[in-house]
Amino acid sequence: MIRARVTVTLKNGVLDPQGKAIEGALSALGFGDVAAVRQGKVFDIEMEGSDRARAAAELKAMCEKLLANTVIEDYAVEIG
């Protein structure tokens, strides 16, 4: 069993209204030191097998096909 974590974040320059809303809410709660917040997604994926190279290739394909919108998002894969 291989466990991987895929992190999908918005590319720099892409507007993040959700992050801005969180930034405003933190500020309203008294966290005045917060300069910027950007929100992303994380996927914890368990895969059958033990071939890490194969898993890495499959995870990259999953990101390209489903998990990330590569026009506006970056992804990072960590195999744990």
Interface ranges with its own copies (CB under 8 A): 1, 7, 9, 19, 22, 25-26, 29, 31, 33-49, 55, 58, 61-62, 65-67
Distance CA 80, CA 67 (A): 19
Other CB atoms closer than 10 Å to residue 56's CB: what's the count?
14
Nearer to its own copies, 35 or 71 (CB): 35
Query: What's the CA gap between 73 and 23, in Å, rounded?
Result: 20
Q: Residue 41 CB, nearest distance to its own copies (Å)?
A: 6
Nearer to its own copies, 62 or 77 (CB): 62
- How far apart (Å, rounded) are the C-alpha atoms in residues 60 and 67? 9
Q: Are 6 and 55 in contact (CB under 8 A)?
A: no
In the complex, the smallest distance separating the C-beta of residue 71 from its own copies, rounded to whole angstroms, is 19
- In the bound state with its own copies, the residue whose beta carbon lies nearer, of 48 and 71, is 48
